[in-house]
Structure 1
Amino acid sequence: GKTRKKGEKRAFFLGVKTWAPETRRKTRVKRKRWLFLAVMAFLLAAGLGYGAGALVVAIEGWVNKPPGPALVAEVVLKRIYVDGYEEETRETVTLPSEAALLERYRDWKLVEKTSRRYVFERHIKDISPVTKARGYFGLLDGSILAIFGGPPGEGDVIHTFYPLDIKRMESSLPPEELAMLHRGIRVTNLAEYNSILSTFGEFALEE
């Protein structure tokens, strides 16, 4: 067979030739030496052009370069419902840029902006959660159609609409219907809201 060189060791396992650990260690050492020489050659070439000190400073500056300034802003979100109720939420956001902020709220309409405050609004085609929970149509000051957050005289006014011609209502509507309006007519959804407005809108006085 072939003559082995001194120091060369081979191991056989199931007919497969493998190099012994000693040979693998020598190969790794050679690779490390080549890598070290390549790095030194690069640093030497760069140092000749720019100076070693300048190169180190440049590398440190690139590695430690701080990120661009972030945008920290207050965002106000206004939801405006068909019954006139406005719901407002506020939050503070930190984003890379104004463009990122506008993208986040792309489904909202920007209505006001300062350097650190953005106001968005959205019109909701429904009655407000407050009206659904405890809304009543009734009369404010005896003649102005309004929605209250509770029976008239007990709940706060959510929204006022228009004054009504009470005399014409008294001659045109059944007494029970007008009495219901004085006591308060409960409203829980958009269909009821539109129906009541349609009924009493015929008696609106022109301002």
Structure 2
Amino acid sequence: MNASWIKKKLQKQWRRWRRRSLTLGLSSLVVAMVWVSMYLPDKVQSLLSSTPPVAIETLQQYQQSEGVDKSADPNFWNELNKYKQINEVVVRHSYVCGVEERALGKLNTDEIYNLLNEHPTWKGQFEGQGKVVLNETIPDLSPTCKQRAYMSMDKDGNLSLFDGPPEQEKVIRTFFQLDINSLESSLPEDALRHLYDGIRIQDIDEYNSVLSTFSDYARKG
């Protein structure tokens, strides 16, 4: 790949990263609130609006639990029919980066059926006696991740996702090893310094953009 072309691409990406703001995150929040108010049943809507989401894991803890199978129990519907009232219902939002939960309290089986019918992408499962978790997979970064995530190079030369500034060394995900010599010979000085200091990741587009850009500098073999 032409080194001059890559350098121009990185310079363009660098300028775009510096212009990013929190506007997209705020817009997404407004859209989500409107959607909830239109479609959820009155009782559950009230619960959702009065109970803020809770980050059940830090970004570092999320990495450790990432391999856990969160798929729905194939016998979930049969198991649900055994109960008239569920002791605890939780909606779990699993993001590309981060996991959050929202407690709905006690719901009867009809209300759980209605929720799952209205949200066909949600998957129900039991966790313990009388506790139902409704799992939703969201192709985005969690609000917590948007507030704290950085991409930078770890001490071993890997492009990594960090919980907080890279100097805190809280690596939560490692992507690939970087070719340092190629980076230093091709990147503009300010872009290289920005990579070492940490690139703030505030939305999924930025996350994918940084990965795509630096994949050109992944070490081969």
Q: TM-score of the superposition, structure 1-length normalised?
A: 0.53
The answer to whether the aligner puts 1:102 opposite 2:113 as a matched pair is yes
C-alpha displacement of 1:91 = 4.4
C-alpha displacement of 1:111 = 5.5
Per the alignment, do residues 100 and 113 of structure 1 end up closer, same or farther by CA in structure 2, a change over 3 Å counting? same
C-alpha displacement of 1:182 = 1.3
Per the alignment, do residues 166 and 89 of structure 1 end up closer, same or farther by CA in structure 2, a change over 3 Å counting? farther
- Alpha-carbon contact 2:88-2:107 (below 8 Å) kept: no
Q: Which has the larger radius of gyration?
A: 1
Per the alignment, do residues 165 and 86 of structure 1 end up closer, same or farther by CA in structure 2, a change over 3 Å counting? farther
Q: Which has the higher contact order (CA 8 A, sep 6+)?
A: 2
For residue 85 of structure 1, the aligned residue among 92, 98, 107 is 98
The answer to whether the aligner puts 1:72 opposite 2:86 as a matched pair is yes
One-letter amino acid of the structure 1 residue matched with residue 115 of structure 2: R
One-letter amino acid of the structure 2 residue matched with residue 100 of structure 1: E
Match of 2:193 in 1: 179
C-alpha displacement of 1:158 = 4.4
Per the alignment, do residues 86 and 165 of structure 1 end up closer, same or farther by CA in structure 2, a change over 3 Å counting? farther
One-letter amino acid of the structure 1 residue matched with residue 190 of structure 2: E
More helix by share: 2
The answer to whether the aligner puts 1:113 opposite 2:139 as a matched pair is no
- RMSD value, Cα: 3.0
The answer to whether the aligner puts 1:188 opposite 2:202 as a matched pair is yes
Match of 2:18 in 1: none
How many aligned residue pairs are there?
137
- Alpha-carbon contact 1:85-1:158 (below 8 Å) kept: no
C-alpha displacement of 1:199 = 0.8
Q: TM-score of the superposition, structure 2-length normalised?
A: 0.50
Find the aligned partners of 2:95 and 2:137 in 1 and give their Cα distance.
Answer: 6
Per the alignment, do residues 201 and 73 of structure 1 end up closer, same or farther by CA in structure 2, a change over 3 Å counting? farther
C-alpha displacement of 1:205 = 4.4
